[in-house]
Chain A
Amino acid sequence: MNALLAAGDPLLDGRIDLTVVLIVIGKTVAIFAFLLVAVMFYVWFMRKVIADMQNRVGPDTAGPWGLLQTLADGIKLFFKEQSVPDTADRRVFFLAPYISLMTAFLAFAIIPIGGKVSIAGHWTYIQLADLPIGILFLLMMSGLGLYGVMLAGWASGSKYPLLGSVRASAQLLSYEAAFGLAIVGVLLQTRTLSTRAIAEQQSWTGITSLGRWYVIPAFIAFVIYIISAVAETNHPPFDLVEAEQELVGGFHTEYTGIRFAIFFLAEFMNLITMSAIAVTLFLGGPSGPSLGFLSADNPVNTWLMPIFWFVAKLLALLFGTVWIRASLPRLRYDQLMDLGWKWLIELAFLWIMVSGTIIVGRDQGWNLFLVVPATVLGAVAVLGLLRLSMPKRSEFVEEMR
């Protein structure tokens, strides 16, 4: 058991004494606080950037530049009345938001935020837990998070939440497939599930290590990942789950006060976690050039710079999500399903075929100049066959009559 734990973190290598326990507790609290503050900041950031894109000012009254607006909203929601519909299944109704919140928190535990540091004589990573099954754990948590949405809609005992949660289930299940396959597309190359190991494979050794960041060798997986992660988190343009014009509020229509806020907290947390996973898998995690004029073991280089690079990359991705939110209109439901089933899943499978063939070919010493074009051609041929075999919309409509 100890050996298994130590595989993840040098902190748990030797004897586990009080200091080690305290360090772990400290890290837990720090990650918890980081995530809450990150959500607070993200909501502010999103509102400000969208305001900029719409030539508005955005929140600017609570705190400097309106930074505390989210906090003010949260406090307000705490003091609001909480109502429960008569027809609700009360126990499940109360439980559902916490399922969403808990899975959102847990998923973030596997993210490597910084490098290896020394605290009170112990070496440890700035990462809560480096599970040997890291990425599987993420899939597990995003799958479980679906229960929060589903149960919330079902337990509300009301029609719009039910419709919203049925949509949510269908959407999340569909995109879970594309999401998982996109991750497989990059795991083929990383050959490990541990997030720490994946981040270390992309560690910074100079400008050429940019080429080792998996966004380049697994670009298609990256694109599929980003699209399906946005859909997984019910972010626009895939926010059909809470399409106001059709469903009032979707699954959280009957929720009020702080329970309503918890759903939003969980949703934004999931978005941050998904972006953080993208940073870890594709953008090198905390790796980046350290300050050359300081020695390598200077606290600025060991503590600050990795966290700085991680947060900078995270911010870039989060800006991307905000940009998408401001630019794209919501998809129609059939377009959503088309994109998921007819494009993303197919492309992910083909990408797994191509990259798998290349990896095996490299191991076996095949002639890559022959293998690569052949697999790409094969993949395109398969895609063409698949698309030809699909019924055209006009035929489909004809059949429906």
Chain B
Amino acid sequence: MGRFSGFGVTLKQMFKPRVTGDYPTTKRPKPDRFHGRHVLNRYEDGMEKCIGCELCAGVCPAKCIYVRGADNPPDAPVSPGERYGFVYEINYLRCIHCDMCVEACPTEAITESKLFEFSFENRADAIYTKAELLVDDEGRARRQPWELWLGDEDDRTSGWMRATSPAGDADYEGRVNWSGELGFGVRDPEQGQSA
């Protein structure tokens, strides 16, 4: 009955669990290092981490980042150092989410969340300005109306960074080397690679 065995296969599959999910209402958990939409982080005291050095813009292979630095006003500084990111724009029509800006950033100001569901209605919406990228007072990403945020997609935006030594020194594994973030403090490192 070779040519009729297909009937058995299809009937058997009816009683197996579904492999697809309820996508728009629930999303699958994403890996810690997922490259999604960027956020600009702040320190625990609310100061911005970005120092306007333009390393991210320089390393960006898609040339989608535009940064202009400015001197901090002495009476009301925006960031702890000498300069701050005066203009910060990312064009998501060009961004390829390679994460090189994140690796280049000396202060861990720019990191990536796990959100990739954008649906812009015009080109202006696709260019995120600092007002949209900068985290809010709880340290969470500001949710734009055309983005679909669900669950913990903005929870662990930066915890995995530099948890291991770039030189491969095993002693550095799991050692936290970064500064605290607004709303989260010092984030736990990613689970060790040897574990």
Q: Which residues of A contact B (CB under 8 A)?
A: 49, 52-57, 60-61, 323, 326-328
Contacts and interface: CB of A to CB of B under 8 A. Distances in A.
A72 to B, nearest CB: 15
Contacts of B9: 327
A54 B19 CA distance: 9
A6 to B, nearest CB: 47
A54 B11 CA distance: 10
Contacts of A61: 24
Contacts of A60: 22
Contact of A55 (B11, B19, B24): B19
Contacts, number: 32
A175 to B, nearest CB: 20
Contact of B18 (A49, A56, A328): A56
A326 B20 contact: no
Given A323-B7, A327-B7, A327-B10, A55 B16 contact: yes
B6 interface: yes
Nearest to A322: B10
B10 A55 contact: no
A56 B19 contact: yes
Interface residues of B, number: 15
Nearest to A53: B10
B42 to A, nearest CB: 38
B124 interface: no
A327 B7 CA distance: 5
A53 B15 CA distance: 8
Closest 10 CB pairs of A and B: A327-B6, A53-B10, A327-B10, A52-B14, A326-B10, A55-B19, A327-B7, A56-B20, A53-B13, A57-B20
B13 A55 contact: yes
B7 A55 contact: no
Contacts of A323: 7, 10-11
A57 B13 contact: no
A55 B13 CA distance: 6
Nearest to A52: B14
Nearest to A320: B7
Contacts of B11: 53, 323
A57 B21 CA distance: 7
Nearest to A327: B6
Given A327-B7, A327-B9, A328-B6, A53 B14 contact: yes
B6 A55 contact: no
Nearest to B12: A53
B145 interface: no
B17 interface: yes
B13 to A, nearest CB: 5
26 contacts: A49-B14, A52-B14, A53-B11, A53-B13, A54-B13, A55-B13, A55-B16, A55-B18, A55-B19, A55-B20, A56-B18, A56-B19, A56-B20, A57-B18, A57-B20, A57-B21, A57-B22, A61-B24, A323-B7, A323-B10, A323-B11, A327-B6, A327-B7, A327-B9, A327-B10, A328-B6
